[in-house]
Amino acid sequence: MCGIVGYVGAQQAASLVIEGLKKLEYRGYDSAGIAVLGPDGALHVARAEGKLGNLTRKLVGQELPGTFGLGHTRWATHGRPSEENAHPHRDASGRIVVIHNGIIENFLELKNELREEGVVFTSETDTEVVAQLLGAAVRREPGTPFREIVKRELARLRGMFALVLFSSTEPRVLYAAKNGPPLVYGKGEGEAFLASDALALLSHTRDLVFLEDGDLARVTAETFEVTDLSGRPLDRPLKRATWDAVSAEKGGFPHFMAKEIAEQPTVVVETVGHKISLETGEFSEDAMGVSRELLRSVSRLHLVACGTSWHAALVGKFLLEEIARIPTEVDYASEFRYRSPLVGPETLVVGISQSGETADTVGALQEAVRQGSRTVGVVNVPGSAIARMVDGVLATHAGPEVGVASTKAFTTQLAALVLFAAYAKACREGRSGLAADDPLLAGLAHLPLAMQQTLALDGAIEKIAAKLVNARDVLFLGRGIHYPIALEGALKLKEISYLHAEGYPAGEMKHGPIALIDSNLPVIGLAPGDALYEKVSSNLREVKARDGILYALVTEGDQEVSSFADASLAIPKIHPALQPILSVLPLQLLAYHVARKRGCDVDQPRNLAKSVTVE
Ligand code: AGP
C-alpha cells in the first residue's frame, strides 16, 4: 500500500518527510520519491526505484533545503516499478507536483485528450495524468487562481484517489483530495502535515482530521480549509487522537477487522496493479508467478487450501474453468494430503494461503511435489514457508492482516485468481495479454470504486445485523460462483459471533435444508443479476413460502427478489468474474456488526489462531 507524507512549517521538510515515509514502510512499496521547495523558490525532486534507502543514498551530499514539501512510497499499479514511474509526478512545466494513492479509472480518456493537446508523457502512470491535466489547464488559463483549477480539474477524475499536490507558483500551499484511500491532516504549532496514515504524524501532533470522501483540503502552515469539489465549504473539526501505538495501527478504527475491511478497495488495486496493465492488457510474467511455458504444459489444475482460502479456491475453480477452460479440482488441503491424490507432472497444484504457513496447505504442497507436480503459491506473506517452497508465487498484496477473520486477504485472493484465469487463457491462446477492449479490463478499473460504493452500505447492513443478534441459526444461500461466497459469509459469521451458520447451494435447499425454514430462521440469499438469477429467485421464493425471514443481496436495479425479501441490499453490478469480490463485502460487515453487538472479541475470536501452523 502506498505511503503519502506532506509538510509545511518551519522545520526542514526533507527529513520530516523521509521520517514519515519510514513509518509507513510496513505497507510495502517498490519505489519512493520526494519534492521540496527551497527558500529560493527552486524545486528539488528526487526519486528512486526500490526501498527508501536507495532514495536517501541519492540525497547524500544533495541538500534539499526548504520547509515545504511532500514524499511518496509507491506500490506499482499503472506501470512497472521504476524511477520514471515513481512519484512525485510533475506537469510539463515542472511546477505542478502530485503524489497519489489509488487508481484513476478514466485516466486513459484524459491521457488521450491531453495527448491530442500535444502533451508528452514521461511515465506509464495514471498519476502523471493528474499533474498534466492541471498543468494544461494552467497553460490555457494563466489568470485563473490555481485553487479554482484544482477544484474544476479534480472533479473530472473518476476512481479512487488520495492526492496531495502543490504548484511552485503558489508556494507553501498543499492541496489534498480524498476519494477512497485514507488521508489525514495533522495540525502543529505553525506547521501542518498530511499523510495516508496517522502513524506517520503521531510523533509530531495528535490534532488530526481524517478527510472524508469528496473532500478537498487547502493547507498552509496556519490554515486548513475543506470544501467539496464544487467549492461548498465543509466543517471538519480537529479531533485529538488519544491512541496508543496499537490503536494508531488501527488508524482510528475500533478493530483491525474494521480497518482491514475498509482497506480492501486499496489493496485490491495493488494486487491487480503489479500484474496487468489496465491500459494495454499486458500481463507481467514475473508478477504472475507462473511462466507461460509452464501453464501451456499442464492439462489440469488442482487448488488446495483451508478455511477462507478454500472458499477462494472454490471461486477459482469457476474462474479457471469458465475463463481458461482448464479442468480444475479443489480440495481441502487437510483432505488432499491423505487421500492418494491423482496428480503428477501434468497437474499444476496451487496452494492458496494468506499466511503461507498453514500446516495442512504446506503438507498438501509437499505431497504434490512428491507426486511429481509443479506447484504455485497464492500467498500474502513474502518469504513464508509456502512462498519459499513452490515453483512460483502469485502474490496478493493485502498488507499485514491482523484480524483473525480473513477479509482483505480473501478479496485480494479472488482478484489474483481472476487474473490467473485470464492469464492462463491468454497463455494457452498464445497471446501476451487481454485485448485492450476486453470488458474485464474495464471491470478491473471500475472495481475499486464499486467496492467502495458497496462498503458504503454499512449503515443498512448494521440494521440487518441487529435482527440477527439472537438468531439460533442463519442460512446463507448462493448459486454458481456465489455458492462459495455463501460459504464464506457463514464462516465469517460463525467464527466471530459464535452463532451457528451454514452456507448452502441455493439449488440444493429443497434436498434437505428446506426442513429448517420457519419464521425463526433468517436466510441470507445471494441473488446478483447474473445468469442464475431466475433460478435463485425461485429458490428464495420457497423460503418466503415457508415463512422464512429473507435478507437478500441483489444488484442495483433489481425488481423481483427485492420485492418479496424482508430487506434487501443492492450492490453495484460488475463483470461476472468480479461480482463475488463485491458480494462478500456486505457479508463481512454483517458478521462484524453481529459480533460487536454480541460483545464478542472481533479481532481475536475464542479458540482461533491467525495462522494454523499445526495439523
Ligand atoms: C479465515 O477467516 C479463518 N481465520 C481461517 O479459515 C483461515 O482462512 C485458514 O486458517 C487458512 O489460513 P491461510 O489462508 O493463512 O492458509
Mean pLDDT by runs of 10 across the 615 residues of the chain is 90 95 77 94 92 89 91 79 88 96 91 96 93 97 96 94 95 95 94 92 91 95 96 92 69 90 93 89 92 92 98 98 97 93 96 93 96 96 88 92 94 98 93 91 94 96 97 96 98 97 96 93 96 96 95 97 97 98 98 97 84 72
Contact between 46 and 72 (Cβ < 8 Å): no
Q: Cα–Cα distance between 21 and 32 in angstroms, integer?
A: 9
Q: Cα–Cα distance between 281 and 433 in angstroms, integer?
A: 5
Burial state string for 54-73 with b = 16 or more CB within 10 A and e = fewer than 16: ebbebbeeeebebbbbbbbb
Instruction: For helices 13-23 and 52-59, give the axis angle rounded to 10 degrees.
Output: 160
Q: Which atom of ligand 1 is nearest to the CA of 407?
A: 2
Q: Which atom of ligand 1 is nearest to the CA of 404?
A: 4
Active site residue 2: yes
What pLDDT score does 244 carry? 67
State whether the beta carbon of 604 lies less than 6 angstroms from ligand 1. no
State whether the beta carbon of 355 lies less than 6 angstroms from ligand 1. yes
Ligand 1 centroid to residue 225 C-alpha, Å? 44
Q: Which three cell numbers stand for residue 88?
A: 512525485
State whether the beta carbon of 308 lies less than 6 angstroms from ligand 1. yes
Instruction: For helices 408-428 and 579-597, give the axis angle rounded to 10 degrees.
Output: 170
Ligand 1 centroid to residue 460 C-alpha, Å? 28
Mutation choice for ligand 1 from 255, 261, 309, 604, CB with most ligand atoms inside 8 A: 309
Q: Cα–Cα distance between 579 and 535 in angstroms, integer?
A: 17
State whether the beta carbon of 611 lies less than 6 angstroms from ligand 1. yes
- Could you tell me where the DSSP H helices lie in 429-549? 439-455, 458-468, 483-497, 533-545
pTM over 0.85: no
State whether the beta carbon of 309 lies less than 6 angstroms from ligand 1. yes
- Could you tell me where the DSSP H helices lie in 329-438? 333-336, 359-370, 385-389, 408-428
Q: Which atom of ligand 1 is nearest to the CA of 409?
A: 14
Which residues are within 8 A (CB) of 238 and not within 5 positions of it... i.e. 6 or more apart?
187, 207, 208, 209
Tell me 578's DSSP state.
T
State whether the beta carbon of 406 lies less than 6 angstroms from ligand 1. yes
Ligand 1 centroid to residue 382 C-alpha, Å? 16
Q: Which atom of ligand 1 is nearest to the CA of 406?
A: 2
Considering only CA atoms, which residue is closest to atom 5 of ligand 1?
A: 307
State whether the beta carbon of 227 lies less than 6 angstroms from ligand 1. no
Mutation choice for ligand 1 from 315, 384, 588, 611, CB with most ligand atoms inside 8 A: 611
Ligand 1 centroid to residue 595 C-alpha, Å? 18
Provide the terminal-to-terminal Cα distance of the chain, rounded to the nearest Å: 33
Strand pairing partners for 175? 165, 218
Provide φ and ψ at 102, rounded to 5°.
115, -155
Choosing from 2, 306, 427, 600, which is the catalytic residue? 2
**Cα–Cα nearest to 3, from 37, 396, 26, 47:** 26
Mutation choice for ligand 1 from 261, 354, 390, CB with most ligand atoms inside 8 A: 354
Q: Cα–Cα distance between 25 and 317 in angstroms, integer?
A: 35
**Cα–Cα nearest to 219, from 159, 272, 177, 273:** 177
What pLDDT score does 320 carry? 98
Q: Which atom of ligand 1 is nearest to the CA of 609?
A: 4
